Amino acid sequence: MVDAHADRDLILARLGEVWLKGRNRQSFLNRLERNLRAALKAELRGVRVEPSYGRIFIRVAAEDLHRALEICVDTPGLSSVSPARRVPSTVEAIREAALELTAEAWAGVEGTFSVKARRRLKAFPLTSPELGRVIGEAIGERFRHLSVDLKRSDHQLGIEVDDRYTHIWTRTLKGSGGLPVGSAGRVTLLLSGGIDSPVAGYLAQKRGCELDAVYFHSPPFIGEPSKDKVIQLANRLAPRQGGMRLYIIYFTEIQKAIRAACDPRFTVLLYRRFMYRLAAEIAEGRKALALCTGENLGQVASQTLENLTAVDRLTPLLTLRPVLAFDKEEIIEVARRIDTFDISTLPFDDCCTLFIPDNPIIHAQIKALEIEEAKLDVPALVQEALVKSEMLKLSGLPIIGEAVEG
Ligand code: ATP
Ligand code: MG
């Protein structure tokens, strides 16, 4: 027999889209399980992650439950999680645990309640509605001031009956959804210190991309605090994938060369074209399948359709622009949720602000940019910057995520 108390700190995690994956489901599931295990074990001891019947059960020490829930909520691929109690699949054990759990969770609450029971063990003596009714009646006797409302209750008790065990919960937290990081392949993120690119990186992670980040740095014009800021941002993305590489590419010489030789009206776009070329080189070395940026349509003058086209033809790699169509407010909302906003708004410059004229070109022709670039030794500048680049391996501890009731 299983002691209900011994298992009080189990977490029941539900799969999101992974569940729809048909024949590929197992590989998605394996990836999700591996990611969850890595994220939890990076911080907590004695964690056990056990998949079973389309659920993942996570066992942690009682004092780690809150943190483990936060980590689960931040792991792409899960639709929701509940702290649950596990009991043997008998009506008596279920009733006892249901009364105990609700006594803790519903003490002093007002309103209506419902019991949602689901029987997955067909040999169980009661059908799902019967079990719901039996448990609902027991609770109704205990909490006389709460009334039943099956459609829109204020408080819910969930019950799921499996072969050996039944899981019971009163709280469900919304997961981040999406697909397990890594299931789509590797992607190279152009990560600046701004608000947009960390959000773009997170959204790509949520669709299964495993990121390497590339940051362009221009000392001495751009100081160490700007670089530290990007490292901090990268550290916010890293835990979701069990660590991340951050490439730092020294961009000063390229910027100086552009200033010395080229028409100043094209400066920003020429910078951007070099960034794309360099990121594509890093991507190739890492067998990445795409680039990813925080570019947005129309947010700033450099991001018109013409100007996006002008940076788009430098590599055969696909460029993901997950925040392209977001309003700034929508981007900020995500940035706050993933805890990058306060870092991004630290007042340190980005190299894109260096040597910028007052009248940049808003609708650039590629031909004009090519004429400017003909004044430079582009391959040599690219090679030189690559040779001098550095790489940091970030473990990314710890993640801070807000568990959201839902
Ligand atoms: P962000 O808020 O992400 O900085 P932004 O709105 O400031 O974006 P830009 O400065 O035009 O826009 O940059 C557009 C995109 O180019 C960024 O989202 C990022 O992907 C990339 N980028 C810009 N500067 C850098 C940099 N120094 N290092 C790496 N990538 C950069
Ligand atoms: Mg920026």
Q: How far is CA 65 from CA 53, 116, 338, 345, in A?
A: 22, 24, 20, 32
Pick from 15-24, 28-37, 123-132, 246-255: least confident: 15-24
Q: How many CB atoms lie within 10 A of CB 2?
A: 13
Ligand in nearest proximity to the CA of 276:
1
Residue closest via CA to ligand 1's atom 26 equals 192
Q: Quote the CA–CA distance of 103 and 20 in Å, as a whole number.
A: 37
**131 CA to middle of ligand 2, Å?**
57
Instruction: Please check whether residue 208 is in contact with residue 180, taking contact to mean a CB–CB distance below 8 angstroms.
Output: yes
Positive or negative torsion for Cα 319, 184, 78, 392: negative
* pLDDT tens digits, 376-388: 999 999 999 999 9
191 Cβ inside 6 Å of ligand 1? yes
293 Cβ inside 6 Å of ligand 1? yes
Ligand in nearest proximity to the CA of 230:
1
Residue closest via CA to ligand 1's atom 23 equals 192
**202 CA to middle of ligand 2, Å?**
16
* pLDDT tens digits, 22-47: 778 888 999 999 999 999 998 899 99
* Closest-lying ligand 1 atom to the alpha carbon of residue 323: 18
Question: Given this model, what pLDDT does residue 24 score?
Answer: 82
* pLDDT tens digits, 224-234: 999 999 999 99
Ligand in nearest proximity to the CA of 218:
1
**381 CA to middle of ligand 1, Å?**
20
* pLDDT tens digits, 191-205: 999 999 999 999 999
**254 CA to middle of ligand 2, Å?**
18
Question: For residue 4, what pLDDT band results from cuts at 50, 70 and 90?
Answer: very low
Question: Given this model, what pLDDT does residue 179 score?
Answer: 95
User: Which of the listed residues 187, 191, 195, 197 should we mutate to test ligand 1's pocket, taking the one with most ligand atoms within 8 A of CB?
Assistant: 197
Domains and CATH numbers, the chain: 10-174 (3.30.2130.30), 185-405 (3.40.50.620)
194 Cβ inside 6 Å of ligand 1? yes
What's the rounded mean pLDDT across residues 272-296? Answer: 97
The answer on pLDDT for 403 being more than 50 is no
Ligand in nearest proximity to the CA of 323:
1
266 Cβ inside 6 Å of ligand 1? no
Question: For residue 300, what pLDDT band results from cuts at 50, 70 and 90?
Answer: confident
Residue closest via CA to ligand 1's atom 24 equals 192
What's the rounded mean pLDDT across residues 287-307? Answer: 90
Residue 127 pairs in a beta bridge with: none
192 Cβ inside 6 Å of ligand 1? yes
91 Cβ inside 6 Å of ligand 1? no
User: Which of the listed residues 188, 192, 292, 354 should we mutate to test ligand 1's pocket, taking the one with most ligand atoms within 8 A of CB?
Assistant: 192
What's the rounded mean pLDDT across residues 10-19? Answer: 90
323 Cβ inside 6 Å of ligand 1? no
Phi, psi of 388 (to 5 degrees): -85, 0
Instruction: Please check whether residue 104 is in contact with residue 80, taking contact to mean a CB–CB distance below 8 angstroms.
Output: no
* pLDDT tens digits, 81-117: 999 999 999 999 999 999 999 998 998 888 999 999 9
The chain-wide mean pLDDT, for the chain, equals: 91
User: Which of the listed residues 187, 188, 189, 190 should we mutate to test ligand 1's pocket, taking the one with most ligand atoms within 8 A of CB?
Assistant: 190
> Of 220, 221, 253, whose CA–CA distance to 378 is shortest?
253
**CB half-sphere exposure, 173, CA atoms < 13 A:** 25
Residue closest via CA to ligand 1's atom 14 equals 295
Question: Given this model, what pLDDT does residue 405 score?
Answer: 44
195 Cβ inside 6 Å of ligand 1? yes
Instruction: Please check whether residue 44 is in contact with residue 67, taking contact to mean a CB–CB distance below 8 angstroms.
Output: yes
Pick from 86-90, 246-250, 401-405: least confident: 401-405
The answer on pLDDT for 349 being more than 50 is yes
